Amino acid sequence: MSAIRLLVLGAVRQHGRAHGYQVRNDLEFWGAHEWSNAKPGSIYHALKQMAKEGLLLAHEVAPSTAGGPPRVEYEMTEQGAEEYFALLRQALTSYDQKMDVLSAGIGFIVDLPREEAVALLRERLARLDEWRSAVTDYYTPENGPGQLGHIGEIMNMWVHSADSEGAWTNGLIARIEGGAYTFAGEGEPFVGILADDEPNPYAAPR
């Protein structure tokens, strides 16, 4: 799974209807250009590709003031919404995804009901525990990485990463169960999008 599809769909959904520059600006505002493959070329390609797939509906609006082609605004279709929530749930439960996928999932977690968000995170923990148990059947960090030579450092890194991620996930679950954040059906959630004329202090260098 690529994080870019989830990020672009989520950004379009937050606007209701958005052109490519708005999507790019929002993702840079969230710092996604630092922790994912959400670079300008990838963003515009994803928008066009998902429009071809029927996940987004493209609208041509007023021509560019610079004399270029008409600006295209994108709107999520019903099929796009189904894809968005499927990707979101996958991002939150699949322990073996890259960190940018989990990051994208956390960025949109409040689009789900609170109870479902907790259930998905608990599923992630269970999968993480299963993976750790399978690994430690033949490798135990307590005995040190030297048992497998320097290759043991690889397993040592992954087991420690799993432990760290498990502790972080448990903390997030506790915060959510404690009432943190506004989830779907609870009122107006936090939405981190910029107005067209609002400067982006975190933009990547142009």
Tens digits of per-residue pLDDT, 94-105?
887 688 999 999
Considering the domain delimited by 3-89, tell me its CATH architecture.
Answer: Orthogonal Bundle (1.10)
Q: Where are the domains of the chain?
A: 3-89, 114-177
pTM of the model: 0.85
Q: Please give the Cα distance from 171 to 88 (Å, whole number).
A: 20
Average pLDDT for residues 81-87, to the nearest whole number?
A: 97
**pLDDT at residue number 202:** 59
pLDDT of 194 above 90: no
Beta-carbon count within 10 A of 24 CB: 25
Q: Specify the higher pLDDT residue, 36 or 50.
A: 50
- Residue 33 CB contacts under 8 Å (≥ 6 apart), including other chains: 27, 39, 204
**pLDDT at residue number 87:** 97
Q: Specify the higher pLDDT residue, 203 or 58.
A: 58
User: Mean pLDDT highest for which of 62-66, 68-72, 122-126, 162-166?
Assistant: 122-126
Model confidence over 131-171: pLDDT tens digits? 888 877 766 666 555 566 777 788 788 888 889 999 999 99
pLDDT of 65 above 70: no
**pLDDT at residue number 122:** 97
- Residue 33 is given by DSSP the state H
| Percent above pLDDT 90 for the chain | 50
